[in-house]
Amino acid sequence: MYDPNNVFAKILRGELPCFKVYEDDQTFAFMDIMPQADGHLLVLPKEAAAEIFELSEPAAQAAMRTTQRLARAVRAAFQPDGLFIGQFNGPAAGQTVPHVHFHVIPRAEGQPLRRHANEKQDPAVLKAHAERVIAALAELA
């Protein structure tokens, strides 16, 4: 069921690069490579689960704790009008990477999101955005 060679499993094992913003024993967070808005990041439980149905309760709790923490940091760093948190299960729901993850996406009033998983952001921009989130996390701690 779980594909250990999905792109997020490779990021978790350090086999692929990412702009990491946070890590603890149970969770990992990094900038989305094709952000739908500036500051869009992803929070992952480290547990090997493709969809939320397979996730253990401790891993789900840890993922939600980290998602709330990162949502606070993104809000502080980007000061959006609102903030969307989303999680897709299965291709029919829009999931493209089969490892559970939570999208944290700042929203600006009246501004549509860029298309899902569509256009890669300049790495220098992702790096700068990651640094803003990391600085905000340090402030919140």
Which positions are catalytic? Answer: 101
Selected from 6, 23, 26, 34, the binder of ligand AMP by CB under 6 A is 34
Question: Under rule CB under 6 A, which residues in 4-23 are in contact with ligand AMP?
Answer: 7, 16, 18
Question: Burial code of 21-60, b = ≥16 C-beta within 10 A, e = fewer?
Answer: bbeeebbbbbbbbebbbbbbbbbbbbbbbbbeeebeeebe
Question: Under rule CB under 6 A, which residues in 95-124 are in contact with ligand AMP?
Answer: 95-97, 116-117
The rounded distance, in Å, linking the Cα atoms of 24 and 141 is: 14
Residue 88 found at the interface with ligand AMP (CB under 6 A) = yes
Q: Among the residues of 1-141, which ranges form H helices?
A: 7-12, 57-78, 123-140
Residue 103 Cβ vs ligand AMP, minimum distance, rounded to whole Å: 6
Residue 29 Cβ vs ligand AMP, minimum distance, rounded to whole Å: 11
Q: Which amino acid is at 140?
A: L
Binding site for ligand AMP (CB under 6 A): 7, 16, 18, 32-34, 42, 88, 94-97, 116-117
